[in-house]
């Protein structure tokens, strides 16, 4: 079975960043001055949305399904083998084939925060995974294992707030394996928000409630995650149905690269490592269905309730095996079937004509650099730039400048210029870093951040960087790698402004939606204002998105 990034114990399970977050924690958290400067400068005016007329019949339930690391091309690549929920939504809904997260750092936190806010990361405050949901002041309830979490860094409102402003009785449930996947789609709304703890329970934090409700405890007491002990992830279809090679040494770091992938026989270990299998999505969907019944979501015609589901298994599996693996092929087929069962169960509980569903992803993923086709030139590589800071730090020490005034977070160089008496000296440091970075293999371009705002029309990479951070952020340089080159230690990764990381599925389905295929370029920030138009509520603030034409005729 898939090994954890560090040993897991039966009593106190350690947090496993490479399993749960797949983000290397940088020195941004250690250098709080620079972080505060970045977070504190995030307000830009954006266009007001277009408002639609009140629909003839508003949905009683809106369901957002976000598949973490779901590339748009998966829907076509595996279409002939899909006949479950993904196929049903793609064939029967309003599908936008050219939908993108139109920002530069395509990661889980910024992506989820944009979906129901209608705003780019520059204004949600969630501009990177590292500026996410960790919050020591909001510990987990019921003694669950993990760090505290809350949306305290999120700024502004979301579709959940707009629904509640229209009707205070509106109920919202958000659930995911990941804390940020559950928290960020609904922003600061104090709703029912739950995620999976490594100890095998769904939990929340004290930001939302001091104790878990009875229905959540009841679900946890079924010990479904532990029931997977000793079970194996096997191929859903016969071996001949998969064109991909099963044994590719670079996948999984050369460990456990051949089917079947077996979970430990110990229930506690299995409850933790189930996160790295398709079974995790089954657990999240089962929890969501239990929540629908327990909270009576979608039962009242006078209000619209909201259910947000983020499925994380594709992200875990994709990081470990890559988007071209047999494992990701099987995972997409399995999430297709799982969503099919979920829809069948949902429509057994609620009238399908009163439910509107949106399917999307929070980002895509790039091919494993070592497996990129020969046609990809320059050759992709794994990039580390932190060593380039060493000569800069030495110069700052010699000049008696506080070295906390400069920081590198992978693809951004930050500087607190108020700590420099000599601005020419500060400029020389930035210029020296830029020259050195441009000479590194895998680096495509190094841009002065403020210069990018001069041409966001003809330069899509500049546009996406401009959407990532506000112009007033304390950012000197942004680094864009060559195609399929990556930062960090994941086998396969994302986070670039390229289309393979930005292009995600976008499908509206059900009540108020006219089926059809749309090929125009759209953005995921269009989801929230479009849902507001479908439901007939007013958007609560200026947003970046616009209303897409998805409505059915009355």
Question: Would you mind telling me the total number of residues written for the chain in this entry?
Answer: 554
Which DSSP symbol is given to 236?
A: S
194, 220 Cβ separation under 8 angstroms? no
- How far, in whole angstroms, is CA 343 from its chain's centroid? 22
Range of lowest pLDDT (49-53, 475-479, 492-496):
49-53
Over residues 505-522, the mean pLDDT reads 96
For residue 543, tell me if it sits in a domain: no
Whether the ω angle into residue 536 lies within 30 degrees of 0, i.e. cis, is no
Are 354 and 401 contained in the same domain? no
CATH code at position 285: 3.40.720.10
Number of domains in the chain: 2
The string of pLDDT tens digits covering residues 519-545 is 999 999 999 999 999 999 999 999 999
The predicted pLDDT at position 49 comes to 40
Q: Classify 130 as helix, strand or coil.
A: coil
The predicted pLDDT at position 31 comes to 44
Q: From CA 432, how far away is CA 478, in angstroms rounded?
A: 14
The string of pLDDT tens digits covering residues 417-435 is 999 999 999 999 999 999 9
With a cut of 70, say whether residue 459 has pLDDT above it.
Answer: yes
Are 132 and 217 contained in the same domain? yes
Distances in Å between the Cα of 215 and the Cα atoms of 266, 526, 551 are 26, 34, 36
Are 318 and 392 contained in the same domain? no
For residue 548, tell me if it sits in a domain: no
Confidence (pTM): 0.91
50, 528 Cβ separation under 8 angstroms? no
Q: From CA 193, how far away is CA 154, in angstroms rounded?
A: 15
Q: From CA 259, how far away is CA 242, in angstroms rounded?
A: 12
For residue 63, tell me if it sits in a domain: yes
Whether the ω angle into residue 378 lies within 30 degrees of 0, i.e. cis, is yes
CATH code at position 406: 3.30.1360
192, 291 Cβ separation under 8 angstroms? yes
Are 432 and 290 contained in the same domain? no
Are 425 and 276 contained in the same domain? no
Are 368 and 392 contained in the same domain? no
With a cut of 90, say whether residue 509 has pLDDT above it.
Answer: yes
Q: What are phi and psi of 420, to 5 degrees?
A: -110, 125
With a cut of 60, say whether residue 43 has pLDDT above it.
Answer: no
Count of CB atoms situated within 10 Å of the CB of 349: 15
Percentage of the chain exceeding pLDDT 90: 86
Are 299 and 424 contained in the same domain? no
Are 395 and 459 contained in the same domain? yes
**Confidence grade of residue 55 (pLDDT, cut at 50, 70, 90):** low
Closest CA to 333 of 82, 77, 73, 85: 82
Angle CA 117–366–111, to nearest 5: 10
Distances in Å between the Cα of 382 and the Cα atoms of 73, 247, 275, 324, 512 are 24, 22, 26, 18, 46
For residue 398, tell me if it sits in a domain: yes
With a cut of 60, say whether residue 89 has pLDDT above it.
Answer: yes
Domain hosting residue 79, numbered range = 34-372+499-519
Q: From CA 66, how far away is CA 79, in angstroms rounded?
A: 19
For residue 514, tell me if it sits in a domain: yes
Are 475 and 513 contained in the same domain? no
Are 366 and 392 contained in the same domain? no
For residue 307, tell me if it sits in a domain: yes
Are 178 and 325 contained in the same domain? yes
The predicted pLDDT at position 42 comes to 43
With a cut of 50, say whether residue 344 has pLDDT above it.
Answer: yes
Over residues 161-165, the mean pLDDT reads 98
Q: From CA 334, how far away is CA 328, in angstroms rounded?
A: 10
Q: Classify 516 as helix, strand or coil.
A: strand
For residue 246, tell me if it sits in a domain: yes
Average of per-residue pLDDT values in the chain: 90
With a cut of 80, say whether residue 45 has pLDDT above it.
Answer: no
Are 257 and 123 contained in the same domain? yes
The predicted pLDDT at position 18 comes to 29
Over residues 229-242, the mean pLDDT reads 98
For residue 4, tell me if it sits in a domain: no
């Amino acid at each position: 079975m898939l090994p954890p990034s560090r040993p897991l114990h039966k009593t106190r399970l350690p947090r496993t960043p490479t399993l749960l977050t797949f983000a290397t924690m940088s020195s941004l958290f250690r250098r709080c001055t620079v972080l505060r400067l970045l977070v504190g400068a995030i307000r830009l005016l954006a266009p007001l949305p277009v408002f639609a007329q009140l629909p003839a019949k508003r949905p009683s339930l809106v369901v957002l399904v976000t598949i973490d690391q779901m590339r748009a091309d998966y829907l076509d690549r595996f279409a002939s083998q899909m006949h479950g929920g993904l196929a049903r939504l793609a064939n029967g809904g309003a599908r936008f084939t050219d939908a993108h997260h139109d920002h530069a750092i395509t990661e889980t936190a910024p992506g989820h925060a944009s979906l129901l806010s209608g705003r780019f990361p520059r204004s949600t405050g969630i501009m990177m995974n590292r500026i996410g949901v960790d919050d020591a002041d909001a510990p987990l309830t019921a003694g669950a294992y993990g760090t505290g979490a809350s949306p305290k860094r999120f700024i502004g409102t979301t579709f959940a707030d707009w629904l509640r402003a229209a009707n205070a009785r509106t109920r919202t449930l958000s659930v995911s394996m990941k804390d940020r996947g559950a928290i960020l789609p609904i922003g600061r709304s104090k709703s029912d928000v739950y995620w999976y703890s490594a100890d095998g329970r769904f939990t929340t934090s004290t930001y939302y409630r001091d104790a878990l409700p009875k229905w959540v405890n009841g679900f946890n007491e079924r010990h479904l995650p532990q029931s997977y002990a000793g079970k194996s992830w096997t191929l859903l279809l016969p071996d001949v149905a998969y064109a991909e090679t099963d044994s590719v040494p670079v996948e999984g770091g050369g460990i456990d690269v051949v089917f079947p992938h077996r979970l430990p026989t110990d229930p506690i270990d299995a409850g933790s490592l189930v996160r790295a299998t398709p079974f995790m999505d089954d657990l999240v969907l089962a929890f969501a269905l239990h929540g629908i019944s327990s909270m009576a979501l979608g039962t009242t015609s006078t209000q619209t309730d909201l259910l947000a589901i983020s499925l994380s298994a594709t992200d875990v599996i994709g990081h470990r095996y890559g988007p071209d693996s047999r494992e990701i092929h099987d995972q997409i087929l399995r999430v297709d079937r799982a969503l099919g069962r979920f829809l069948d169960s949902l429509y057994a509980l609620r009238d399908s004509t009163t439910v509107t569903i949106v399917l999307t992803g929070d980002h895509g993923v790039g091919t494993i650099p070592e497996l990129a086709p020969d046609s990809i030139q320059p050759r992709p590589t794994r990039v580390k730039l932190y060593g380039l800071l060493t000569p800069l730090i030495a110069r700052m020490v010699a000049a008696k400048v506080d070295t906390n005034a400069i920081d590198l977070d992978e693809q951004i160089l930050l500087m607190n210029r108020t700590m420099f008496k000599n601005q020419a000296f500060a400029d020389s440091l930035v210029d020296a870093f830029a020259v050195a970075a441009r000479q590194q293999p895998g680096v495509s371009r190094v841009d002065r951040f403020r210069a990018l705002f001069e041409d966001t029309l003809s330069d899509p990479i500049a546009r996406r960087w401009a959407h990532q951070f506000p112009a007033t952020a304390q950012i000197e340089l942004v680094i864009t790698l060559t195609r399929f080159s990556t930062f960090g230690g994941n086998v396969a990764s994302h986070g670039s402004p390229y289309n393979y990381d930005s292009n995600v599925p976008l499908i509206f389905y059900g009540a108020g939606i006219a089926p059809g295929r749309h090929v125009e370029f759209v953005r995921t920030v269009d989801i929230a204002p479009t849902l507001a138009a479908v439901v007939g509520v007013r958007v609560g603030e200026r947003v970046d998105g616009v209303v897409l034409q998805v409505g059915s005729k009355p």
